[in-house]
Copies of this chain bind each other. A is one copy, B any other.
Amino acid sequence: MHHQSKISVSTAGRGSYELTDQVLRVVRESGIEVGLCVVTCLHTSASLLVTECADPSVQVDLRSWLERLAPDGDSLYTHTAEGPDDMPSHLKAAITRSTETLSVAAGALVLGVWQGLFLLEHRARPHQREVFVHVTGDPAG
């Protein structure tokens, strides 16, 4: 069976927004006990990442490091019409994930103790982001 749903995230601009609980809620709604959960970020200047969820300083450093790799307003960019933070947002999205596939076991997401699923907002300003969640598998027998 298949269950599809959308999550809306209102971001306050650049940063990490944890989605683990909202995605788990969709898994529970689906009634699926064992299967797969495919999450898609429907944007090209925001992305997904499974990373450390316990200490917020990890998200701070991730953001600083991505900004060093792909700085705003770099002279390398020719795609500048949408602002100095647009092209670096596409680059940061390119090296993280637009879709993430997780296993479902016992009606829950299979993740390590310190792992969480995050939406990364790469644009400087607040945005409304849509995340598609697709759960497929078998219900409790």
- A interface with B by C-beta (< 8 Å): 2, 4, 34-36, 38, 40-45, 49-52, 55, 57-58, 60-62, 64-65, 68-70, 76-79, 81, 87, 90-91, 93-103, 105, 110-115, 130, 132, 134, 136-138
> Whole-angstrom distance between the alpha carbons of A60 and B79 in the complex?
8
> Whole-angstrom distance between the alpha carbons of A58 and B94 in the complex?
11
Is there contact, CB below 8 Å, between B138 and A2? yes
> Whole-angstrom distance between the alpha carbons of A45 and B114 in the complex?
10
Q: Chain B residues with Cβ under 8 A from A137's Cβ?
A: 2, 136
Q: Chain B residues with Cβ under 8 A from A51's Cβ?
A: 44, 90, 93-94, 98
- Residue of B49, B50, B61, B87 near A79 (CB, 8 A) is B61
Jot down 19 A-B pairs with beta carbons below 8 A, ordered by A. A2-B137, A35-B136, A38-B101, A40-B103, A42-B112, A43-B114, A44-B50, A44-B52, A44-B58, A44-B112, A49-B94, A51-B93, A58-B90, A60-B78, A62-B90, A62-B94, A97-B97, A98-B100, A112-B130
